[in-house]
Amino acid sequence: MGWDYHNEMAPYDRRAICRRHIGNGYEVIKDAMVGTTYYAAVKSPHDGSVSALIILTHIDQRSYCNFGMKWLTEYDGPFHCDCPESILKELSPTANSYALEWRAKCREKRQTRRENVLVKAPIGSKLKVTLKTGIERIVTKQAPNFQFKSWWLLVEGALTYIPRNRVEKAVIL
């Protein structure tokens, strides 16, 4: 499965563009953008079942065909598992193993995120983090600034930061 590129006029409303390209009688029941990925519960005109549609989006302003879309369904077993629970609740029951596994991964990822101490800790909190390499550091959760668009972790006593994807576990001090 490849990417489809076409021309879109700026400013880009990814959600509206994705909605506009869903056709063939499919009806969008509920949809959401998570980052650059579009998730939707769509109703089939053939049998009335509701399944998940995932569209990866990409913008390349240097090209005439500047808006890219990669279409996936839950039956493809996509890697992207950030689908909101509100969309998962709208989906029809299925026996497809790929779809069931994808739905379970989405719910598991949401639950893990809810339990994550890093996310819950308020800005300015001191944390003791254990990295995936086993190293422990004391860090401070910082507000978005500089090149960071969301919160980030400043290592205490050093002018370095730790990427959050390298943190195994964290404890608030």
Spatial separation of the C-alpha atoms in residues 98 and 75, rounded to whole Å: 5
Residue (of 91, 102, 87) closest to 43 by Cα position = 91
pLDDT score recorded for residue 112: 76
State the DSSP code for 146: T
Domains along the chain?
4-115 (no CATH), 117-172 (2.30.30)
Contacts of 70 (CB under 8 A, 6+ apart): 1, 2, 3, 4, 55, 56, 58
Q: What is the DSSP string of 60-77?
A: -TTSSS-EEEEEEEGGG-
- Whether this model's pTM surpasses 0.85: no
Q: For the chain, 173 residues long, give each residue's pLDDT as a single digit of tens.
A: 689 999 998 889 999 999 999 988 999 999 999 989 999 999 999 999 999 999 999 999 898 999 999 999 999 989 999 999 999 999 999 999 999 999 999 998 888 776 688 888 899 999 998 888 889 999 999 888 878 888 888 898 888 888 888 888 888 88
How far apart, in Å, are the Cα atoms of 32 and each of 41, 47, 55, 70, 74?
9, 24, 11, 16, 15
pLDDT score recorded for residue 169: 82
Beta strand 50-59 with 167-172 is unpaired
pLDDT score recorded for residue 1: 61
